[in-house]
Amino acid sequence: MKKMSNIYESAANTLGIFNSPCLTKVELRVACKGISDRDALSKPDPCVILKMQSHGQWFEVDRTEVIRTCINPVFSKLFTVDFYFEEVQRLRFEVHDISSNHNGLKEADFLGGMECTLGQIVSQRKLSKSLLKHGNTAGKSSITVIAEELSGNDDYVELSFSARKLDDKDFFSKSDPFLEIFRVNDDATQQLVHRTEVVMNNLNPVWKTFKVSVNSLCSGDQDRKLKCIVWDWDSNGKHDFIGEFSSTFKEMRGAMEGRQVQWECINPKYKAKKKNYKNSGIVILNQCKIHKMHSFLDYIMGGCQIQFTVAIDFTASNGDPRNSCSLHYIHPYQPNEYLKALVAVGEICQDYDSDKMFPAFGFGARIPPEYKVSHDFAINFNEDNPECAGIQGVVEAYQSCLPKLQLYGPTNIAPIIQKVAKSASEETNTKEASQYFILLILTDGVITDMADTREAIVHASHLPMSVIIVGVGNADFSDMQMLDGDDGILRSPKGEPVLRDIVQFVPFRNFKHASPAALAKSVLAEVPNQVVDYYNGKGIKPKCMSEYESSRTLAP
């Protein structure tokens, strides 16, 4: 049992680097006022795009929904961002007019932007600034961002609403209803929580099921008042009021286990004027499901093991290992970049793996005895058992195999991704959170089999695995950035998108003069979220301790 507690101790110790001090997620809500359009005759169809700055480049993180014909939009979609106290996180909010026939930004008109830091929003809770266009204020337009910390409770709720016999507000057709839910804050202000889609020409609408965090819905207070309003949508943006009702999350929870909760939708004006007014329709909550969100530590402490695999590039572009200019040169006193990257990342991962045995592979070399090119050979030359004992074992196997190889090419990494994916796919049969695979690929250059690699990554995104690529040396790594889905969605050659972003690419040269901890932190920062996204997305709960102990006999 001692061995088990050691894992937890070392896990807790290294979490400082592994999970970085981001234990805080922040929800940002956005609204704009007075946005003017290039076309004076029509109102804009605004959408706000959130960008973050990384290494001097802006990249898109997320975007709101598009609100049609509106100059004072209040967006329903939230932005959820990680807040790092120790970093300056620059944000840019861009308002674009998205024409209905084209959802991209090519046709879109830029209506104005606002830059600030996440720290400014968090410290002020509510930040309002003018929108700037090409350095000048864009008319009287402004943007307001409100921040809320997602504290502790990450659970979220799935709600399915419908209505029947709503009042008809349209002369020639039936109403086009949508529902808005507001949270009533302690200071009596109302905060939009969710806006459903519009169901056209229907007095008995069934709205799509939606998810919202418990925090967002009621700030964790089940008795907080929620105000719900039903509107009849109008294309000119002047929606007609149908009716309203109040509820609480506690009351909504009545719709669990197949029961329904119903409210009368009331129009106060009609109620005051009409004697035999009953209601303006009935709104029904058909289901309320609560999903518990588990954290990275919940899974690790429930006995999920991180299975760490290394793959090293032995292509000829590295240079002859006997030559001191080679990236594979073994200097008696100074580890080369391959070794530095391997040790920095491996030392953290090994804390989460109880047997400390790491499969290590090479690719792009001709190997003995026949000297055929291989893209997934065991560097200890034992194909039946490619595992090395500890990171030290990997280092020793690497040093002893170098003189026996003939560095060759091309740089194909799809075979090694497929190899680890095969193990990860066997793991999915257990339907429990017991092993998560991390593949560290160390390479000196642009890969040759990009199409196969994209295909392999899209397939792997459905499995319990993440891929970390560290670029060694001074090659042009621009193609590699494409595999790291931060700039957009990676797709297979057939157009299938990745289910989740599982690749992290880092050029080693950015960390040449930094500490190994800085490289490890950068490379591993996304792993905890990737682990959580995978298991939560599959609805797999952490294994509990007692079950873990009984299912696995631990060495004394």
* pLDDT attached to residue 138: 66
Q: How far apart are CA 145 and CA 113, in angstroms?
A: 13
pLDDT above 60: residue 476: yes
Number of compact structural domains in the chain:
3
pLDDT at 182 over 70: yes
Of residues 184 and 305, more confidently modeled: 184
**Rounded mean pLDDT, 26-34:** 93
Q: Is the pLDDT of residue 546 over 60?
A: no
| Residue 526 banded pLDDT, cuts 50, 70, 90 | confident
What share of the chain has pLDDT > 70, as a percent?
88
CA distance to 310, 328, 482, per residue, from 405 (Å)? 17, 12, 31
Residue 244 to residues 130, 175, 196, Cα–Cα distance (Å): 33, 15, 15
For residues 217-251, one letter each, b for 16 or more C-beta atoms within 10 angstroms of the residue's C-beta and e for the rest, the string is bbbeeeebbbebbbbbbeeeeebeebbbbebbbeb
What's the mean pLDDT in 364-390? 95
- Statement: residue 501 has pLDDT above 80: yes
Is residue 549 in some structural domain?
no
Specify whether 260 is located in the same domain as 306: no
Please compute the mean of the pLDDT values over residues 429-438 and round it to a whole number: 90
- Helix, strand, coil proportions of the chain in percent (round to 5)? 25, 35, 40
Query: What's the start-to-end Cα distance of the chain, in Å?
Result: 7
Please say if the pLDDT value at position 12 is more than 60: no
pLDDT number for residue 9 = 43
Q: Rounded to an integer, what distance in angstroms lies between the CA atom of residue 136 and that of residue 249?
A: 45
My answer on whether 164 and 124 are in the same domain is: no
Contact 14, 351 (CB under 8 A): yes
Quick one: pLDDT at residue 33?
95
Report the CATH number at residue 93: 2.60.40.150
- Domain annotation covers residue 423: no
Question: Is there a single domain that holds both residue 305 and residue 161?
Answer: no
Q: Is residue 93 one of the residues assigned to a domain?
A: yes
Assess whether pLDDT exceeds 80 at residue 330: yes
CA dihedral angle for residue 47, residue 53, residue 56, residue 59, rounded to 10 degrees:
-50
**Same domain? 369 vs 502:** yes
Q: Classify residue 425: in a domain, yes or no.
A: no
Same domain, 371 and 504: yes
Q: Is the pLDDT of residue 117 over 60?
A: yes
pLDDT at 151: 59
Residue 133 lies in a domain: yes
Among candidate residues 245, 260, 291, the one where a domain is terminated: 291
Same domain (yes/no): 179, 279: yes
For the ranges 128-132, 229-233, 296-300, the lowest mean pLDDT is seen at 296-300
The answer to whether position 545 is within a domain reads no
Does 66 map to a domain? yes
Instruction: Classify the C-alpha dihedral 320-324-330-336 as positive or negative.
Output: negative
Query: Has residue 229 been placed in a domain?
Result: yes
pLDDT reading at 136 higher than 90: no
Q: So what's the pLDDT on residue 555?
A: 32
pLDDT tens for residues 190-249?
A: 999 999 999 999 999 999 999 998 888 998 888 999 999 999 999 888 999 999 999 999
**Contact present, 440 and 345 (Cβ < 8 Å):** yes
| 404 and 316 in a common domain | yes
- Bridge-based pairing state of the strands 435-443 and 240-247: unpaired
Q: Are residues 303 and 287 in the same domain?
A: no
Segment 438-475, tens digit of pLDDT: 999 999 987 899 999 999 999 999 999 999 999 999 88
Tell how strand 465-471 and strand 435-443 pair up. parallel
By three-state DSSP, how is residue 351 classified? helix
Q: Token pair of 460, please?
A: 């792997």
Say whether pLDDT at 54 is over 90: no
Give the per-residue pLDDT at 248.
Answer: 96
How confident is residue 152, by pLDDT bands cut at 50, 70 and 90?
A: low
Q: Mark whether 254 and 333 lie in a shared domain.
A: no
Q: How confident is the model at residue 134 (pLDDT cuts 50, 70, 90)?
A: confident
Question: Residue 42: helix, strand or coil by DSSP?
Answer: coil
Q: Is 544 helix (H, G, I), strand (E, B) or coil?
A: coil
* Mean pLDDT of the region 52-74: 88
**Whether residues 305 and 247 fall in one domain:** no
Final residue belonging to a domain, choices 291, 324, 350: 291
pLDDT at residue 367, as a whole number: 95
CA atoms of 122 and 129, how far apart (whole Å): 15
Per the omega criterion (within 30 degrees of 0), is the bond before 528 cis? no
| pLDDT, position 385 | 96
pLDDT at 2: 40
pTM of the model: 0.58
Alpha-carbon distance of 364 to 337, in angstroms, equals: 18
Alpha-carbon distance of 198 to 72, in angstroms, equals 19
Span of 96-100, 373-377, 425-429 with lowest mean pLDDT: 96-100
Same domain, 327 and 273: no
Q: Which pLDDT score is estimated for 527? A: 84
Mean pLDDT of the chain: 85
Over residues 491-516, the mean pLDDT reads: 85
Q: What would the pLDDT profile of 343-371 be if each residue is shown by its tens digit?
A: 888 877 877 777 889 999 999 999 999 99
Residues 306 and 278 in one domain: no
The residue segments making up the domain with residue 388 are 296-415+446-457+490-538
Gap between the Cα atoms of 26 and 285, Å rounded: 28
Residues 454, 446 contacting (CB under 8 angstroms)? no
Residue ending a domain, among 240, 270, 291, is 291
